[in-house]
Amino acid sequence: MFMRIDHVGIACHDLEEKIAFFERTFDLTVVARETNEEQGVKEAMLHIADGEGGGSYIQLLEPLGPDTPVGKFLAKRGEGVHHVAFGVPDVAEAMREIGGRGVRVLDAEPRHGTLGSSIAFLHPKDMGGVLTELVQAPDTGDAAPGH
Amino acid sequence: MFMRIDHVGIACHDLEEKIAFFERTFDLTVVARETNEEQGVKEAMLHIADGEGGGSYIQLLEPLGPDTPVGKFLAKRGEGVHHVAFGVPDVAEAMREIGGRGVRVLDAEPRHGTLGSSIAFLHPKDMGGVLTELVQAPDTGDAAPGH
């Protein structure tokens, strides 16, 4: 079901400062920057590797305001890992399977994620305290799990 | 420098319960169980994918007691992501490079990690709140970054 660790999402106060830090310290490259008004974040993807069905990234997240989910996370926990995302071949199918096994899926339908992906979140209380994201990369909808 | 996301380490109260959950919910398979007295944890690696220079895993961590690092983490934060590990071709070289760029490396020398790996940790305060591990998989010491 999981093909790769797609990304680790890290909440931060200053996106540009953290991008510069990761670039100069680890020679990483930003491959996308987006503002997601729906989720209340500015974000950047730093490329780590290519994998089955998609890539692996560090995702940096800066909240658009204090009343956003990431803003509240920062106020409560400080900077750190906000969520972990796993690549799946078909996010709608994964949502059905996982939901049928007793884990609450937070989205009724897949929604738009970074880099043109389709995503859904799983309830952290059902996932050992880990906010977990399922990611289907663009153009992999027809890929079989063994692709 | 980073070849892959090697693993996400998740702290939990009951290793066997969490292993069973991840196996039945996501069809994952445990490929290693270890007790690491030095780090004060019982741990299990659930295989996600194979990548450049090594695999990608979910690592589940149960503390051996309340006075261990993971025991203290659980008391303070509850279950959740404890650390993130990135695969590097040569951990000693990565420690030197990263240390030279101003990030505190918590280990003076590489130490023994899961599955025969060589590892070192970076200070979470220098890493945006993320306890970060560098992992060199066994038998990749001679591998060039492009291997």
Q: How much is the pLDDT for A90? A: 97
Q: How far A37 CA lies from chain B's nearest CA (Å)?
A: 23
Q: How much is the pLDDT for A3? A: 96
Residues of chain A neighbouring B4 (CB-CB closer than 8 A)? 48-49, 51, 56
Q: How much is the pLDDT for A52? A: 83
Contacts of B17 (CB under 8 A, 6+ apart): none
3-state SS string over A38-78?
Answer: CCCEEEEEEEEEEECCEEEEEEEEEECCCCCHHHHHHHHHC
How do residues A26-44 score in pLDDT, each as one tens digit? 999 999 999 999 899 999 9
Query: B residues 85-114 near A, CB within 8 Å?
Result: 86, 98, 101-103
pLDDT band, residue A139 (cuts 50/70/90): confident
How do residues A121-135 score in pLDDT, each as one tens digit? 999 999 999 999 999
d(CA B11, CA B39) in angstroms, rounded, equals 13
* Section B85-111 average pLDDT: 97
Among residues of chain B, what percentage have pLDDT more than 70? 95
Q: How much is the pLDDT for B139? A: 76
pLDDT band, residue B67 (cuts 50/70/90): very high
Residue B101 reports pLDDT greater than 50: yes
* Section B94-123 average pLDDT: 95
Q: Please judge whether B5 and A79 are an interchain contact, meaning their C-beta atoms are less than 8 angstroms apart.
A: no
Q: How much is the pLDDT for A51? A: 85
Contacts of B76 (CB under 8 A, 6+ apart): none
Q: Please judge whether A5 and B1 are an interchain contact, meaning their C-beta atoms are less than 8 angstroms apart.
A: no
Residue B145 reports pLDDT greater than 50: no
Q: How much is the pLDDT for A143? A: 44
Q: Are B62 and B35 in contact (CB under 8 A)?
A: no
pLDDT band, residue B140 (cuts 50/70/90): very low
Average confidence score pLDDT of chain A:
93
pLDDT band, residue B117 (cuts 50/70/90): very high
3-state secondary structure of A11: strand
Chain A contact present for B48, CB below 8 A: yes
Compare B141 and B107 and report the one with higher pLDDT.
B107
* Section A48-58 average pLDDT: 93
Chain A contact present for B1, CB below 8 A: yes
pLDDT band, residue B52 (cuts 50/70/90): confident
Q: How much is the pLDDT for B104? A: 98
Residue A61 reports pLDDT greater than 70: yes
Residue in chain B closest to A82 (alpha carbons) equals: B81
| Helix (H) or strand (E) run with residue A8 in it | strand A4-11
Q: Are A121 and A103 in contact (CB under 8 A)?
A: no
d(CA A39, CA A82) in angstroms, rounded, equals 13
Residue A140 reports pLDDT greater than 70: no
Domains observed in chain B: 4-136 (3.10.180.10)
d(CA B62, CA B91) in angstroms, rounded, equals 25
Chain B contact present for A32, CB below 8 A: no
